[in-house]
Amino acid sequence: MTAHPEASSLNAALTAFAVEHLRAAGHAVRVSDLYAMKWKAAVDADDVPDHPADRRLDVLAAHEEATLAGRLTPDVDAEQEKVRWSDAVVLQFPLWWFSVPAILKGWFDRVFTNGFAHGPAVPPPYTEGALGGRRALVSVTIGARESAFSDRGVHGRLADVLHPVQHGLLWFTGMAPLDPFAVYGTVDLPAERFEAAKREYGRRLDGLFADEPVPFRPLTDEYDQDMRLRPGLEEPGTTGLDLHVRPEEHRDSAHPPSSAA
Amino acid sequence: MTAHPEASSLNAALTAFAVEHLRAAGHAVRVSDLYAMKWKAAVDADDVPDHPADRRLDVLAAHEEATLAGRLTPDVDAEQEKVRWSDAVVLQFPLWWFSVPAILKGWFDRVFTNGFAHGPAVPPPYTEGALGGRRALVSVTIGARESAFSDRGVHGRLADVLHPVQHGLLWFTGMAPLDPFAVYGTVDLPAERFEAAKREYGRRLDGLFADEPVPFRPLTDEYDQDMRLRPGLEEPGTTGLDLHVRPEEHRDSAHPPSSAA
């Protein structure tokens, strides 16, 4: 999945690199180039063709009904089929206003329907999830410098800024997101930094199925009936979004290496 | 600004309520109903009419050039003019995938251009900002229950989930965002809860120019040249997004009440 309006952009170059790299490693790859596809971004009544014009559009209910009846639009159908087919989803985009471009948000809003990605008809979120068993990798280009997204950086840590995507979309639907891959300082990126970024990205793609995902917490065991984290699971003093990631020392026991399993 | 595809939605009702309430208090109000306007969501080369078809589209540079030359499209011009005209911006939207709907993200991406909302041609971000002097209020409807967005809630605290909007768009551009107003549990919202929500929203609208904004930190005094928070400004043990909000005990000295000023 790639979302940049310019065919010669850094995002397009990283997408082409990833496709080549993964194919050379023997993977089958399917690309959704949202701008090239002229992807419709806004959810509306046209997304649920059977919806009576005189009925109030309740998006959740209408999405569920259309999804379960197999009556979504062909563009959404095709994207759901690609996600179902995949073992891993790679999202390539420029960070605009500290989030994904609108066209990619529209891919989230229109493809990840109630009945497909969440809701009563599929396994519960954050543990199994409708799309469980899939890896996910966010690859993002950022104009600003890396220090501004570091632990004390003014924009917030990149992991926190991307929480709505990493935890809210990917982990929620059952995918296992890896740490994001980011290229910073992309305004007039020197050629040698682009080459270095490609080498690093190649290593990350090599680890797509091997690297440890972000150890987000499962809903069923670690949260109570109000969906609040049970007391005592975190390191003392932990607050905010850090609560929802298992501390490093718990990582090994939660994900035993295969040699020890 | 409101963004819901259904004219009889809760979001539409809250928008109508806010418009009436603010007008009754003597304010002039202008509404941008993005779905009714059929707002174009995706940034592309059509947004910069003078851009040569054979030149690579560098969005930041093209936006800046078109903004400074007064050569944006009429739809974007009109929205920039509304924002410039305003003393306060109220954003009304349903939380979809832990963020704004795509059509509203497209309003951010297309209206808040380099040259208008940020960039070398306008005052620096996070302190003065291009849009300084304006209040901002996010009003959001959420299907999930409130506890899931509380301090230990699985979705993350609402303030953290909305950080890219509150801090990344509003505070970045110089506006003073208030704490968000949220209506939870909106699937089959009982009439008495809707009435209670309107009363509470009315109070929040009454405080639009009087309530204390979120005390986000100014860039110029509190961050170093790498845009990292200077040491020692936070309460010991503070991490993550909390670093970028002044602790409560500093609020009074930073914002003296007018009677003491």
Q: Which residue of A has its CA nearest to B227?
A: A148
Of A5, A45, A109, the CB nearest to B57: A5
Which pairing describes strands A176-177 and B88-94: parallel, antiparallel, or unpaired? unpaired
Q: Which residue of A has its CA nearest to B118?
A: A97
The pLDDT, as a whole number, for residue A96 is 98
Complex prediction ipTM = 0.94
- What does residue B201 show for φ and ψ, rounded to 5 degrees? -65, -40
Which chain A residues contact residue B146 at CB under 8 A?
A: none
Token digits for A130?
Answer: 């409708």
SS3 assignment for B95-131:
CECCECCHHHHHHHHHHCCECCCECCCCCCCCCCCCC
**Backbone dihedral region of B145: left (phi > 0), alpha (psi from -120 to 50 degrees) or beta?**
beta
Contact criterion met (CB below 8 Å) for B140 and B180: yes
Per-residue pLDDT tens for A22-49?
999 999 999 999 999 999 999 999 999 9
pLDDT at A252 over 70: no
Best residue of B8, B227, B243 to probe chain A, by most A CBs closer than 10 Å = B227
E runs forming strands in chain A: 88-94, 135-141, 176-177, 181-183
pLDDT at B3 over 70: yes
Task: Show which of residues 45-84 on chain B sit within 8 Å of chain A, judged by CB atoms.
Answer: 45, 56-60
In whole angstroms, give the CA distance from residue B112 to residue B94: 21
Task: Show which of residues 183-242 on chain B sit within 8 Å of chain A, judged by CB atoms.
Answer: 187, 217, 219, 223, 226-229, 237, 239-242
**Cα A130-A134-A137 angle, rounded to 5 deg:** 120
Q: Say whether A106 and B102 touch across the interface (CB within 8 A).
A: yes
CB-count burial class (<10 Å; 0-12, 13-18, 19+) for B61: middle
Q: What is the enclosing helix (H) or strand (E) of B140?
A: strand B135-141
The pLDDT, as a whole number, for residue B256 is 40
- What does residue A182 show for φ and ψ, rounded to 5 degrees? -130, 140
Q: Say whether A240 and B241 touch across the interface (CB within 8 A).
A: yes
- Rounded to the nearest angstrom, the minimum Cα separation between B77 and chain A is 19
Q: What is the enclosing helix (H) or strand (E) of B176?
A: strand B176-177
Which chain B residues contact residue A217 at CB under 8 A?
A: 154
In whole angstroms, give the CA distance from residue A209 to residue A136: 9
Task: Please give the interface size between A and B, counted as residue pairs whose CB atoms are below 8 Å apart.
Answer: 222
Q: Say whether A229 and B5 touch across the interface (CB within 8 A).
A: no
**Total residues found in chain B within this entry:** 261
Answer positive or negative: Cα dihedral of A114, A115, A119, A120. Answer: positive
- Rounded to the nearest angstrom, the minimum Cα separation between B74 and chain A is 19
Per-residue pLDDT tens for A98-128?
999 999 999 999 999 999 999 999 999 998 8
Q: Say whether B154 and A227 touch across the interface (CB within 8 A).
A: yes
The pLDDT, as a whole number, for residue B259 is 39
Task: Show which of residues 21-40 on chain B sit within 8 Å of chain A, judged by CB atoms.
Answer: 35, 39
pLDDT at B255 over 60: no
**Cα B237-B241-B247 angle, rounded to 5 deg:** 60
In whole angstroms, give the CA distance from residue B1 to residue B134: 15
Q: Say whether B187 and A60 touch across the interface (CB within 8 A).
A: yes
Q: Which residue of B has its CA nearest to A159?
A: B240
The pLDDT, as a whole number, for residue B32 is 98
In whole angstroms, give the CA distance from residue A225 to residue B154: 11
Of A8, A41, A244, the CB nearest to B56: A8
Q: Say whether A102 and B97 touch across the interface (CB within 8 A).
A: no
Going by pLDDT thresholds of 50, 70 and 90, the confidence category of residue B128 is confident
Homologous superfamily assigned to A10-214: Flavodoxin domain (3.40.50.360)
Q: Which residue of B has its CA nearest to A5?
A: B44
The pLDDT, as a whole number, for residue B115 is 97
* Angle, helices B10-24/B191-206, rounded to nearest 10 degrees: 40
Q: What residues contact residue A40 under an 8 Å CB cut-off, 6+ apart? A: A75, A106, A110
Per-residue pLDDT tens for B14-40?
999 999 999 999 999 999 999 999 999
Half-sphere exposure of A117 (CA within 13 A, CB side): 25
Going by pLDDT thresholds of 50, 70 and 90, the confidence category of residue B101 is very high
Q: What is the enclosing helix (H) or strand (E) of A194?
A: helix A191-206
- Give the residue with greater pLDDT, B250 vs A57: A57
In chain B, what are the domain boundaries?
Answer: 10-214, 216-261
A98/B contact by beta carbon, under 8 A: yes
Per-residue pLDDT tens for B177-189?
999 999 999 998 9
pLDDT at A203 over 90: yes
pLDDT at B248 over 80: no
Radius of gyration of chain B (CA): 19
The pLDDT, as a whole number, for residue A127 is 81
In whole angstroms, give the CA distance from residue A108 to residue A104: 6
- Rounded to the nearest angstrom, the minimum Cα separation between A48 and chain B is 12
